[in-house]
Structures are given as C-alpha cells and as structure tokens.
Structure 1
Amino acid sequence: MRRFGLLAAATLALLGTAANAKTTLVYAGRVITDATKPAQGPSTITITDDRITAIAPGRIDPPAGAEVVDLGDKTLLPGLIDLHVHLTGDPGGDYRNEAVDPDEWGVVVGVKNAALTLRAGFTTVREAGSGQYSAYALRRGTANGFIEGPRIVAAGPALSIIGGHGDVTGFREDVHDVLDQGYTCTGPVECAEKVRKASRAGADVIKITATGGVLSQQARGLEGHFTSAELQSIADTAHALGLKVMAHAHGAGGIAASAAAGIDSIEHGTFADEAALKVMKAKGTYLVPTLMAFEGIRERLGKGIYTPTVEDKVRMTLNDAGKAVTRAKALGVPVAFGTDAGVFEHGRNGQEFALLVKYGLTPAEALASATSVAARLLSMENEIGRIAPGMSADMIAVSGDPLSDVRALESVDWVMVRGRIAD
C-alpha cells in the first residue's frame, strides 16, 4: 500500500506540473529551423515553458490558456550566438581606468550591454574575458531572469604570460602587483595550476592570450607568447576538466602552435596562413574571426583614443583583416561567429554577417556560423542553434529573408530566450 501511495503521489505531482506549464504559440510567415536547410512557409511553433515542443505547418488553434504571438509575415529563425564578446566593457575607454573602476562597475556596464545584445538577436554569448567574478554575476542574473540578457558562457580572466597581452601592462610595477588577478603563468606546471584555478572560480571555458594583442599596452608584436609545452599543458588540463579552450591569436606561428596543442578555437586569427590553417584543419580547430573588432578600431584610429603603442599595432592588422576567412573556407576550416563586441559598440553584432559574406561565406554559411556551427563549438548543439522539438526556446524574428540577404539580421524585430519574450 505504501508503494502504491508513493506512485499515486508522484503521478499527481507530474499532472500538477503539466497543468501549470505555460504554453505559447508563435505564428510566423516563414521559418528557418536550420541554417543548412531551406526555409519553411507559414508555420506554428509551440513552446511549453522554456522548450520548443512542436512545429506544424500553417496556423493551428491554440489550446485554452495559451499565449499567442502573431509575427505576421516575418521570418522566424534560431536565436543567434556570438562566441566572442566583452559585456563588461565599452569601446574607447582609457586603459588607466583599470586602476580606477572597481569590478562592480563592470557588472553595471554589463547589465546595459547584455540587454543591447539580446535585443540585437543574440540569445547566447561567450564572454571572452572580464574581471574575476563580473561575468559570472551576469551569467547568473540572466539565467535567473533577474536582468534582461542572453545565455552567457563565461571565461572570466584570461590566462597570459607575464607582461603579455591579457596581463596588466602600462603601469608602474607596484601598480601591476595590485591589479594582478593572478592568471599569468610560466611553465607547464604553473599553467596547469592556473587552468584549475579558473575552473574552481567558475569558468565555463578557458580563455588564453596565445599571442600579442592589439589593444593592450605591451609592445612586443603580435606573435606567439606561450611555449608549446605551456600550450599543451593548458589544453590537456582544461580538457581533463571538461572545459574547452579559446585562444586569442593573431600571428601565424602562435596560431599553428595553439592548434597543434589541441586548443579548440582561434579567436581573431588575423595572420593565419595556409600552413597554420592546415594545422587547424587537421586538429578540428575552429576559426572565430571577429571582423567587427577591426571595424571598431578602424573607426577610432587617429582620433587620440589609442596610445601610440596601440596605434602602431592597429596599423599592422588592418590590411590583413578578413583574409583568413577566405583561406579557412577554401581549406575546410570551420568558421564560427564572434565579434569582439566591446571593441565596438554592443548591439552592432549583427553587422559581422555582411563582413563574413564579403570574405567568402554564403548567407546560409554566415547564418550557420552563428547558429548550428557556433552551437557545436560550445558542445550545445542539442540545446541551441536550431528550431526543433526539445531545444531551448531561443528564437528571433526579422523582416526579409536572411538566407538571401544577411543584412536582414542587422535589425531584429522580436526575441525570445529560454522561452521568455524580450522587452
């Protein structure tokens, strides 16, 4: 009798949960369920709580109590994914603010930028470097629905070499000591330790600065920083913990060394030549080209925003920006969508699509880079990146057909993330 009573109670609890579930029906004139497939005609999408539960042609009658969203003739498609953003920062700030602004200010800025990013149609982002806990606070806030924003996959502080891109540079040594967040490393053992430290702190992904960078005050060029042994230690330790590694990398040598070590994605990849890309192809490494970052720095060049050190490095990159995308496509290296938002204004992320097409991707490939391809890089292909039963209810609507004109993605009319309709 006791077992029967427990079963009955469990059944009643399940029925109660089903009865309390929220149902939403979305009508759209055109639906792109997967960027690799043709669009469907007028359709109805059924969402139960935060999950897509059905896709049906035409308009079906809503059940009692269901919420109905009528998008008219708009195109419904999966929510977009930006694999490289910095929500806690805005473009053009003085690097010396690092010694003035507290990490808490980064959360305030991040709340603003998370909302802008979501309204631009990006329902998932990978936060590619922030203060120790600021991105983690934003991640929790958007997940709980306390603040408006996308799903956040957060790296936290990047691992770097001492004095390299990602380390604190440009100040007196005693100021460096105060600002140091403790993520520089020398040698394979210490680099493994810092990966474990990042994991313990809450990182979803490990970010490293494998080469010099454009916007930091270090003036050592844009080639490799870590040794091959250090890169191997970082990759092996992260993978053993179930974490992927994303590597900021501009120079060809640093790109090839990172890919050879098993790093999962190359961010920027500015000077990736055929030899480096062949290593990436052999190892299954993704390219995240962040072309909008170069637009952002181009717009600010020569205006007194950047220091002379930075301006010299900017000029090193602009003539090569985008060429790696063309080479990567020719060699079959997967190209995934990322923008480096924060180097330019948040909310302009969608302008990356036209740049990807400019350098050789088709509109469908560009859309896939920000949906199904990006989801695979995140190992979230069964959660996001497509419209299908069982997937998270992350969807957007635009006017026009992005499979023929990607600029349609620069103006998003409606957004749903995790089954919640954005304001």
Structure 2
Amino acid sequence: MLKRTFLTMAALASSSAALAEPTYVVADRMLEVETGRYVANPVIAVEDGRITAITTGSAPDSATVIDLSGHTILPGLIDMHVHLDGRPEYGGYSNLQFTDRFWTHIASANAKRMLEAGFTTVRNLGDDDYNVIGLDQAIEEGWLVGPRIVTANHALGATGGHCDRTFLPPSYDAKSPAVGDSPDELRKRVREQRKYGAEVIKACATGGVFSRNTAPGIQQLTLEELTAIADEAHFWGLKAAAHAHGAAGIKAAIRAGFDTIEHASFIDEEGIRLAKERGTFLSMDIFNTEYTLSQGEANGVLEENLAKERLVSKAQRDNFTKAHRAGVKMVFASDAGVMPHEDVGGQFAVMVRLGMSPLEAIRAATVNAADALGQSGEVGTLKVDAWADIVAVDGDPLADVGELADVDAVVKGGVLVE
C-alpha cells in the first residue's frame, strides 16, 4: 500500500534542504515536450529536488508519493519576461503613494502567484532597488515561496531613455543608477549589476510604451553601445536581453550579439532574417494588450502610454505570426507586471491563435526558454538530472492549450505546492 503525502507551502519553503528519502510523482500520463509523445503511467523518482529516474507502472510500496492520478503532467513552465515588483493596478503616478519597501512585499506576493499558476522558473527583466535579487535569495534560503528566478536587477539604458526614470521633474533628480552614455560607461553598468547578483543583463535599445517622452520605435543606444553591453555580459558568462520595439533597434541589438529580443513589435523582414540566421530568440508579449487597454485608464495609466500601446499591439501580433512562419526561435514572455502575474497562462491560447501549434507554444515555455536561459537539461524538461518541476492539468494540453491557463497542481523541486 502506498504511503500518501500532503506537502504544504511550508514544506516547499524549506525545499532547498536535501530531502531525506526519494519521493515519487505518479500520474496518468506525461507529455514529453521534446517529442510531443505521451508516456502512460509515469513514475518520476526525485531526490534532493532532482529527477533520478523515470519509469512506468507504479511507485514502490511504502514510498512517499505525490499522487497526481487522473492528470496529465508536463515540465514546469518558464516565463522569460516578468517584473515581479510591479502590479498593473498602480499605473501612472498612482505608485508614488507607497513607500519604497512596499514593492519588495509586492514582489513576494507576485512570486507566489506565478508559482501557483505553474511558472516554476521566471526571468525578471528589470526592477527597482534590487528588490528581486533579495526575493530570490529569500526563496533560495527557504524563507519565502516562489519560482526559480533569473534576474537582471536594474535595466541598462540611455539618459532620458525608456530604462531611465522619466516621470518626475528635474527638481527630483530622479535617475536610474544603470544609465550610461558611452560604451565604457555601459560596460561598467554591466559589471555593477553582476556585482549585486544579476544573472542576465537587460538593456533598452529603443523607447517603450510605459515611459514618458520616449517613442517605442526609436533607437536609443548606438550599435557600439549595444555591442559593449552584450560583449561585457558574455565576458562574465551572462546572457543579454534587449528591450527593442523598433526595427532599427532590433537589428542593432541582434548584430550586437544579444541573446533575446524583448517585444520585437516592429521587426521587419531583415530583422526576422537576421534573428533566424544568428539564432536570436524573440520574446514577444502578445497577451497583455487587452488588459492594458481595458483596465489601464482605471489603473491610472496615462493617455500617452495607452496611445503607444494601441500603436504597438497590432503590429506586434502580426509580426509574431510572420516570425513564427519564418522559423525564428521564440520563447514565452508575458511582461507580467504590465498585466496580473496570476493570469499570464492565458497567453498560450493567443500564441496558438496567432499560428503556433499547442506543442510549439508549450515548447516556447519549456525547452526553448531553457535553451535561451542557458539552462537546458536543468529546467523546462522532465529528464533525469533535471529539477523536478512539474505542472498537472486535467485534460489534454495538446488538444486544448487553454488547460495551461488554470493548472491543477504544481510541483517545484519534488515538493507539491498546495
């Protein structure tokens, strides 16, 4: 007779400690995302948070079992573009009513919500005051519950650009600590962010939607500056992500050697060709526009920003379809913080509507994302030696990818999230 276990959020918080005995995860079937094949009656053995064996049949007698019978399981999901210390409810100037440390606690709540939504790994592309590296450390030490986090700390950019602080008048002297206006300055900014824990470097190659006095399509860093950032990041063994809406900035970032292009809204045919030739991943947030345009005004978002969102959204979706048809590598990216973190799983259905098969959309949030992170075989897969990060759904996600908008169970490192 199997010994069943009910592992709580408190147990998850201490999951960084070695598990004393093997745990087994059982389910009706497992999606092998690499092949698209289903494996019936999988039995996944887990020790110290990692998968040690995958068999079929039943778990050993008297074993500790996470019983997901009646469910389909697949790898824990990966969101490649989030902002954990933000919430869309506080748009425009409404965020100024809170103290700085408010956002640290917001980050903690958002991390828990993303984990419960099935995202066991997230890439945090920009935050204030090193909020998220502190959160990451607290999760790793077992004090808080949340996903694995790959964070950029402050995003790099030009003075007055999208990654600078652009909402306040000169008397406030509000500046981002990560702006730079020459290749040498920006190399130093890379080193500073890495010094304080950054595992990826983000730079704003163009203007953006949620800033003032910046146009999304206009390039804001030169090719020489972008090349310095990417080279310095790679020198330290870090990946480089470029916020880029406009065609010129996208192509400059690809030529500079950036690993992922965020948003890529106005990418043109040459940009698509370059991305395919160089193996650059596109990280396109094609779901959040409905939320922004329906709720943004009520949330305090300025008309200037809403107008830019209306300009960007249709072009981005059209170009998502073009890039996918061309065979460009693509990853799942929500820009959570612009929209609620707990709702980002709804993007899978939009990806399918815009041309991906359900399996391609799932791969974008698993094996493709792991490859873009430089963590293939660690996350985004159910293979021996990978982290035992698992989501479970009732139905067939290959028939209805909408199953991933409301997952039934989440396992992180071999511990069930209640």
Band the TM-score falls in, shorter-chain normalisation: over 0.9
- What residue in structure 2 maps to residue 227 of structure 1? 222
Equivalent AA in structure 2 for residue 305 of structure 1: G
Larger mean CA deviation between 364-373 and 95-104 belongs to 95-104
Larger mean CA deviation between 364-373 and 181-190 belongs to 181-190
Equivalent AA in structure 1 for residue 184 of structure 2: V
- What residue in structure 2 maps to residue 405 of structure 1? 400
Aligned 1:141-156 pairs, distance under 5 A: 141-156=138-153
Larger Rg over CA atoms? 1
Q: Quote the offset at 1:316 in angstroms.
A: 1.0
Q: Quote the offset at 1:203 in angstroms.
A: 0.5
- What residue in structure 1 maps to residue 190 of structure 2? 195
Q: Quote the offset at 1:110 in angstroms.
A: 0.9
- What residue in structure 1 maps to residue 246 of structure 2? 251
Name the count of aligned residue pairs: 401
Partners of 1:48 and 1:93 in 2: how far apart? 42
- What residue in structure 2 maps to residue 265 of structure 1? 260
The secondary structure found in structure 2 opposite 1:254 is helix
User: Do the aligned residues in 2 keep the contact of 1:235 with 1:261 (CA within 8 Å)?
Assistant: yes
- What residue in structure 2 maps to residue 48 of structure 1? 47
Partners of 1:20 and 1:171 in 2: how far apart? 50
Partners of 1:416 and 1:20 in 2: how far apart? 14
Query: Deviation string for 1:316-369 (max 9, x for gaps)?
Result: 112213122211122221010110011111111111111111111110000000
What are structure 1's unaligned runs of at least 5 residues? 1-18
Q: Quote the offset at 1:98 in angstroms.
A: 5.6
Aligned 1:325-344 pairs, distance under 5 A: 325-344=320-339
Query: Deviation string for 1:117-151 (max 9, x for gaps)?
Result: 00100000001110132100111122222111100
Cα–Cα, structure 1 residues 304 and 338, in superposed 2: closer, same or farther, change >3 Å?
A: closer
User: Do the aligned residues in 1 keep the contact of 2:33 with 2:362 (CA within 8 Å)?
Assistant: no
Query: Deviation string for 1:155-174 (max 9, x for gaps)?
Result: 11110111111111121113
Counterpart of 2:212 (choices 210, 217, 221) is: 217
Aligned 1:115-134 pairs, distance under 5 A: 115-134=112-131
Partners of 1:134 and 1:249 in 2: how far apart? 24
Counterpart of 1:363 (choices 349, 358, 364) is: 358
The secondary structure found in structure 1 opposite 2:59 is coil
User: Do the aligned residues in 1 keep the contact of 2:92 with 2:301 (CA within 8 Å)?
Assistant: no
User: Do the aligned residues in 1 keep the contact of 2:320 with 2:354 (CA within 8 Å)?
Assistant: yes
Partners of 1:170 and 1:301 in 2: how far apart? 17
User: Do the aligned residues in 2 keep the contact of 1:103 with 1:134 (CA within 8 Å)?
Assistant: no
Equivalent AA in structure 1 for residue 170 of structure 2: E
Partners of 1:303 and 1:101 in 2: how far apart? 18
Partners of 1:229 and 1:113 in 2: how far apart? 36
- What residue in structure 2 maps to residue 137 of structure 1? 134
Partners of 1:322 and 1:161 in 2: how far apart? 27
- What residue in structure 2 maps to residue 11 of structure 1? none
Corresponding position: 1:180 with 2:175: yes
The secondary structure found in structure 2 opposite 1:231 is helix
The secondary structure found in structure 2 opposite 1:292 is coil
What are structure 2's unaligned runs of at least 5 residues? 1-17
Partners of 1:221 and 1:130 in 2: how far apart? 20
Quote the RMSD (CA, aligned, Å): 1.7
- What residue in structure 2 maps to residue 422 of structure 1? 417
Partners of 1:20 and 1:416 in 2: how far apart? 14
Cα–Cα, structure 1 residues 120 and 20, in superposed 2: closer, same or farther, change >3 Å?
A: closer
Q: Quote the offset at 1:95 in angstroms.
A: 3.4
Identity of aligned residues (%): 38
Q: Quote the offset at 1:219 in angstroms.
A: 3.8
- What residue in structure 1 maps to residue 5 of structure 2? none
- What residue in structure 2 maps to residue 69 of structure 1? 66
Partners of 1:199 and 1:302 in 2: how far apart? 36
Q: Quote the offset at 1:376 in angstroms.
A: 0.3
Using the size of structure 2 for normalisation, the TM-score is 0.92
Partners of 1:23 and 1:300 in 2: how far apart? 47
Cα–Cα, structure 1 residues 70 and 239, in superposed 2: closer, same or farther, change >3 Å?
A: same
Query: Deviation string for 1:57-105 (max 9, x for gaps)?
Result: 121323x4x3112211200110000001111110031433565534321
Partners of 2:320 and 2:91 in 1: how far apart? 31
Q: Quote the offset at 1:35 in angstroms.
A: 4.3
Query: Deviation string for 1:211-241 (max 9, x for gaps)?
Result: 1110112244432110111011111111111
Partners of 1:389 and 1:302 in 2: how far apart? 48
Aligned 1:13-24 pairs, distance under 5 A: 21-24=20-23
Equivalent AA in structure 2 for residue 329 of structure 1: H
Partners of 1:160 and 1:267 in 2: how far apart? 14
- What residue in structure 2 maps to residue 31 of structure 1? 30
Q: Quote the offset at 1:301 in angstroms.
A: 5.0
Query: Once superposed, which parts of structure 1, at least 4 consecutive aligned residues long, lie more than 4 Å away?
Result: 97-100, 301-304
- What residue in structure 2 maps to residue 163 of structure 1? 160
The secondary structure found in structure 1 opposite 2:345 is helix
Partners of 2:213 and 2:252 in 1: how far apart? 21
Partners of 2:300 and 2:97 in 1: how far apart? 18
Cα–Cα, structure 1 residues 186 and 307, in superposed 2: closer, same or farther, change >3 Å?
A: same
Using the size of structure 1 for normalisation, the TM-score is 0.91
Larger mean CA deviation between 157-166 and 97-106 belongs to 97-106
